[in-house]
Amino acid sequence: SKKAGRDQVTFFTDEMGTAAKARDLLEIELARGIENDEFVLHYQPRIDVASGQVVGAEGLVRWMHPTRGLILPSDFIAVCEETGLIEDLGRKVLEQGCEQAIKWHRAGLELDVSLNVSPRQFSDPALLETLFRLANLPDFPLGHIELEVTENVLIGDPDAIAEKLKAITAMGYNIAIDDFGTGYSNLAYILRFPLTCIKIDRSFISQLPSSGPLVQLIISLGEQTGAMVVSEGVETHKQLDWLRKHDCAQAQGHVIAPPLQVAKFESFLAKGR
């Protein structure tokens, strides 16, 4: 009926209004939280599969909200990306991650530290300046900081992307391709870039052994291109055993440890040594 139709319209606009208001509020809260340094990196260990030794850590950001507690990236990264707040947040993540890597380096720990870089952050012209400034800090662990980018980051003008990646690797950073196999990019295209590491997406690891042929293909791709292959989201000993048997170099996942706050990460390291 006409009445029902009108109600529906009203309901729809209200919903839209509420959703938009909630988003505006989140955006304001995010800007405030970034300003107040409420974002903290937790670190997930990465092991050498053959030896079981911890060889690295991925920094994963968490929002320590003063009233709402710990908030995971799935609840805020997309909004930061859409609004441009990722440029500030991303810079702070890089600073925090590099400062932590410097501390560990000074303490004599040999760790590769990986940090995530989003598409908008990668296309921000200020990224190179930030990376240059950080690489010139005293005791910066040259060759031990890796930037993780997804296939989406590499979509665009190939010459411009290659040039940017070259500038970044020339400063001493390594580049990993994250969530490998989930994007829509062309393989030959991806492999033109100077990638030092391929991270096999969790979705393929959780489907082992049926996804075995694909995982083996990625492992041999790594061997042939000289890129380190890391399996992500390893949750069971069965999966880890499969990866060891098929010569996957490194692994990361809950079967080893979840992302840990710095103090817990350090005690995890101490236990393993």
Binding residues for ligand C2E, per CB under 6 A? 44, 60-61, 72-74, 77, 90, 93, 116, 118, 178-179, 202, 233-235, 253-254, 259
- State the pairing for strand pair 39-48/54-65: antiparallel
Which amino acid does the sequence have at 225?
Answer: T
List the structure tokens of 74: 């799935």
* Angle (CA) 167 128 188, round 5°: 45
Nearer to ligand C2E, 108 or 200 (CB): 200
What pairs with residue 1 in β-bridges? none
Q: Are 126 and 161 in contact (CB under 8 A)?
A: no
Q: Which does 60 bind (CB under 5 to 8 A by kind): ligand C2E, Ca ion, none?
A: ligand C2E
Nearer to Ca ion, 130 or 231 (CB): 231
Nearer to ligand C2E, 15 or 82 (CB): 82
Nearer to ligand C2E, 9 or 70 (CB): 70
> What's the closest the beta carbon of residue 42 comes to ligand C2E, in angstroms?
7
* Angle (CA) 41 43 47, round 5°: 160
Q: Which stretch binds Ca ion (CB under 5 A): 145-153, 209-217, 234-242, 264-272?
A: 145-153
Under the criterion CB under 5 A, does residue 179 sit at the interface with Ca ion?
yes
Question: x-or-dash pattern for Ca ion, window 105-124, by CB under 5 A?
Answer: -----------x--------
What pairs with residue 113 in β-bridges? 57, 145
Give dist(CA 200, CA 180) in Å, integer. 5
Q: Which does 170 bind (CB under 5 to 8 A by kind): ligand C2E, Ca ion, none?
A: none
Q: Which does 45 bind (CB under 5 to 8 A by kind): ligand C2E, Ca ion, none?
A: none
DSSP structure string for 210-237: TTHHHHHHHHHHHHHHT-EEEE----SH
Q: Which does 73 bind (CB under 5 to 8 A by kind): ligand C2E, Ca ion, none?
A: ligand C2E
> What's the closest the beta carbon of residue 176 comes to ligand C2E, in angstroms?
10
Give dist(CA 69, CA 64) in Å, integer. 5
Binding site for Ca ion (CB under 5 A): 116, 148, 178-179, 232
